[in-house]
Amino acid sequence: MKAVIVIRPHILQGSVLNKLKQNGFYPLDLPAASLTSCQFDDMESDIAIFISQPGVMFGPEHLNTKKLIAVGQKTGAVATKKYGYTAITPQQQSSQGLLELPDLKAPLDQRIVIYCGQHHQDRLEKKLSDRGARVVIKTVYGLIPPNITPTYDVPQNGVIWATSFELLSMFKDYYIDKFQITCLKNYGILSSSVNQNQVQRLGFKGGFHPLDQPGEDTMIEELHRIDW
């Protein structure tokens, strides 16, 4: 049985479970967290940056900016639909990809507002500030433990698709530590945003499978390459 655990919140899962089934895998729906909104005061900007889809979902109702930048095609599509701006998206779906965009290479005295979650790290903020931008972080959502009680047997081995270190850490705390589903420690980790040292630090023993790019299609391609 080729078990694949999807740990991202339900609101972000879309059709990934069906895609996994269609490709011959056995998907398990074990979200590591739920999303909750945070209060914030919005402001005008020269450039608005959305790191992820939740940033758009929980972001301002109306946006007053000159340019909109989003990480990932899906985030860009959601932002374009909500705000009416044509979103600029980097080819490489990462902070480094953002920094290679022409609009962010020399943003001298530009006010850049980044809409993100509570778990956001400030590396992007620092690099943009070093380039002369006036950067403001708007925390628009947070992660809370899921309100779920596992009611079915989990296969002894499989792969966890980890879309962030924060979610993987919360997954361990909730399912392994709280509910004592210890076989999950034997699962491999598939991720573009988590490194091998982080995986080992959390105590997972099933191997690490790095991804060059985030996204469902890249994840499924790598799953087919794994020696099950």
DSSP 112: E
Sorted by sequence, the CB contacts under 8 Å of residue 156 that are 6+ apart come out as: 183, 186
- Report how far residue 136's alpha carbon sits from residue 108's, in angstroms, rounded to the nearest whole number: 14
Per-residue pLDDT at 96: 83
The CATH code that applies to domain 3-33+147-225 is 3.40.50.10090
Tens digits of per-residue pLDDT, 5-35?
999 999 888 899 999 999 999 999 999 999 9
- Report how far residue 168's alpha carbon sits from residue 40's, in angstroms, rounded to the nearest whole number: 27
Provide CATH 3.40.50.10090 ranges for the chain: 3-33+147-225, 36-143
Tens digits of per-residue pLDDT, 74-118?
899 999 999 999 999 998 877 888 999 999 999 999 999 999 998
- Report how far residue 171's alpha carbon sits from residue 169's, in angstroms, rounded to the nearest whole number: 5
Per-residue pLDDT at 215: 85
pTM: 0.85
> Which CATH architecture describes the domain 36-143?
3-Layer(aba) Sandwich (3.40)
